[in-house]
């Protein structure tokens, strides 16, 4: 069985990961040249990262850390003449993004639901179901709005290119633009599918707390986030391994539908970039350039 590969769309490019081999390919905007770099893996908590239901939180941390590094490097390669964020700036950007996500997608739906007295004093399952539906609505509207932004749409196109090239690899086809173009841009192991799983699992996990006063609800949401992440990660791994089963495909459909917002049909130039990234990650470049690695 072929080892699984995954990736992430970045600024004007794609990052691909094959185990400890991580590569980034970006099309430089000044001359259209594809620049490829290797990125060193920095896996923390290696032992804890192998324990089922605990590994989800630690893997999520590693993925977020790698994603920030890849985004920063892609900006440097695509727009070398522009001023870039330093490590301090990147840290604060990352921290602000986390606070924003927790505030908008976790706490805001909670307080919006709690504003209705009938829900605040009613059945816990109903409360958490309404809260979860509000959370999903906020996510949908957020993605809908940013998908209309020109720069974000280009990232979503590279996201589609990443999926098409991964499908080509999984089908054991030659990595060419022609082969990749025919594949769908929706993939069951996508981070968007993970988001959908997280939101559904959160409804179930938060329901276990009951319907206490608002400060206890707030603390429970924050404290149970690692539990939600751990269960969601295992669910995503399971769906990726067993996607050929009809009932798994059925359950995975909402995540695939949501990807219609976070992916877009790429151009051939974008697919070329994704192929260059995957070839470096696989170590199959026909003319391997001198090793260029992010410091």
pLDDT of residue 33: 94
pLDDT above 90 (res 247): no
Q: Which of the residue ranges 30-34, 154-158, 223-227, 291-295 would you say has the lowest mean pLDDT?
A: 291-295
pLDDT of residue 59: 83
Distances from the Cα of 52 to the Cα of 8, 15, 56, angstroms:
24, 26, 8
Residue predicted with more confidence, 190 or 157: 157
Average pLDDT, stretch 82-90?
A: 63
Distances from the Cα of 177 to the Cα of 150, 173, 190, 251, 286, angstroms:
24, 11, 21, 31, 16
- Note whether 185 and 266 are within 8 A (CB): yes
Q: Which helix (H) or strand (E) is 47 found in, with range? A: none
pLDDT above 60 (res 91): yes
- Note whether 56 and 230 are within 8 A (CB): yes
pLDDT above 70 (res 96): yes
Average pLDDT, stretch 47-51?
A: 76
Share of the chain above pLDDT 70, in %: 93
pLDDT of residue 52: 84
Which tokens hold the place of 272?
């070329």
pLDDT above 50 (res 218): yes
SS3 208: coil
Residue predicted with more confidence, 49 or 34: 34
Candidates 195, 156, 160; CA nearest to 181 is 160
Average pLDDT, stretch 236-243?
A: 84
pLDDT of residue 119: 94
**Max CA separation in the chain (angstroms):** 67
pLDDT of residue 145: 95
pLDDT of residue 292: 56
pLDDT above 90 (res 149): yes
Q: Which of the residue ranges 43-52, 187-196, 221-230 would you say has the lowest mean pLDDT?
A: 43-52
Q: Which residues pair with 9 in a beta bridge?
A: 14
pTM for this predicted structure: 0.87
Average pLDDT, stretch 89-107?
A: 84
pLDDT of residue 114: 96
pLDDT above 80 (res 108): yes
Across the chain, mean pLDDT equals 89
Q: Locate the domains of the chain by residue range.
A: 6-282
- Note whether 193 and 259 are within 8 A (CB): yes
pLDDT of residue 89: 65
CA–CA dist 70, 162 (Å, integer): 14
Confidence of residue 291 (pLDDT cuts 50, 70, 90): very low
pLDDT of residue 289: 47
Q: Which residues pair with 18 in a beta bridge?
A: 21
pLDDT of residue 295: 44
pLDDT above 50 (res 202): yes
């Amino acid at each position: 069985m072929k080892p699984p590969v995954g990736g992430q769309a970045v600024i004007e490019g794609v990052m691909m990961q094959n185990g400890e081999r991580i590569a980034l390919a970006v099309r430089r905007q000044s001359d259209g040249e594809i620049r490829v770099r290797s990125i060193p893996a920095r896996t923390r908590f290696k032992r804890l990262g192998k324990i089922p239901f605990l590994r989800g939180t630690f893997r999520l941390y590693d993925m977020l850390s790698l994603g920030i590094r890849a985004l920063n490097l892609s900006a440097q390669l695509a727009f070398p003449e522009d001023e870039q964020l330093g490590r301090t700036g990147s840290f604060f950007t990352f921290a602000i993004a986390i606070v924003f996500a927790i505030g908008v997608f976790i706490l805001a739906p909670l307080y919006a639901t709690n504003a209705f007295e009938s829900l605040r004093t009613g059945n816990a399952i109903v409360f958490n179901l309404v809260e979860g539906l509000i959370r999903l609505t906020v996510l949908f509207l957020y993605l809908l709005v940013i998908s209309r932004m020109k720069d974000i749409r280009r990232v979503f196109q590279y996201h589609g290119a990443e999926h098409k090239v991964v499908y080509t690899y999984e089908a054991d086809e030659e990595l060419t633009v022609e082969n990749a173009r025919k594949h769908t841009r929706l993939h069951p192991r996508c981070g968007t599918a993970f988001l959908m799983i997280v939101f559904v699992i959160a409804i179930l996990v938060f329901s276990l707390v009951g319907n206490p006063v608002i400060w206890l609800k707030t603390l429970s949401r924050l404290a149970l986030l690692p539990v939600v992440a751990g269960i969601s990660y295992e669910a995503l791994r399971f769906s990726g391994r067993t996607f050929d089963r009809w009932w798994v495909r059925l359950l995975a459909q909402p995540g695939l539908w949501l990807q219609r917002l976070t992916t877009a049909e790429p151009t051939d130039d974008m697919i070329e970039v994704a192929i260059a990234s995957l070839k470096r990650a696989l170590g199959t470049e026909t003319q391997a350039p001198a090793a260029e690695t992010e410091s």
